[in-house]
Amino acid sequence: MQVLKALGDPTRLDMLSRMASRDEYPCTTLEHELPVGKSTISYHVKILSQAGLVSVSKKGRFYFYTLHRDIIEFYTPGLLGRLTSEAQVTEP
């Protein structure tokens, strides 16, 4: 149930679609791309992490996010494909 709640927020879906484009996604990139503050990003990452959808690692001073594609695919088959294809269509 935690997974579905985590996926029920548009900001978190946007974050997942961005993270799906790379093996590891830098936190600083999200801070520049999303129209929300650092604390809001941290909150959403915490929800995604608690649901088992994302893991967080630290390298030096920087944090990186890794998407657990298998878990997302298990609970919502095809979601990542739809998110990444929509992201490609909307980007200039």
pLDDT at 38: 92
Asked if the structure places residue 89 within a domain, the reply is no
Secondary structure of residue 51 in the 3-state scheme: coil
> What pLDDT, in 10s, does the model give residues 27-85?
999 999 999 999 999 999 999 999 999 999 999 999 999 999 999 999 999 998 888 77
Give the pTM. Answer: 0.86
pLDDT bracket for residue 89 (50, 70, 90): very low
Q: Is the dihedral of CA 13, 62, 24, 53 positive or negative?
A: negative
Asked if the structure places residue 92 within a domain, the reply is no
The angle subtended at Cα 42 by Cα 77 and Cα 13, nearest 5°, is 25
Asked if the structure places residue 49 within a domain, the reply is yes
Asked if the structure places residue 90 within a domain, the reply is no
Give the tokens for residue 67.
């998407």
User: Are 35 and 29 a contacting pair, CB within 8 Å?
Assistant: no
Owner of token pair 């990542």:
80
- Kindly report the CATH number assigned to the domain that includes residue 18: 1.10.10.10
Total structural domains within the chain: 1
Distance CA 83, CA 37 (A): 22
Q: How many CB atoms lie within 10 A of CB 90?
A: 7
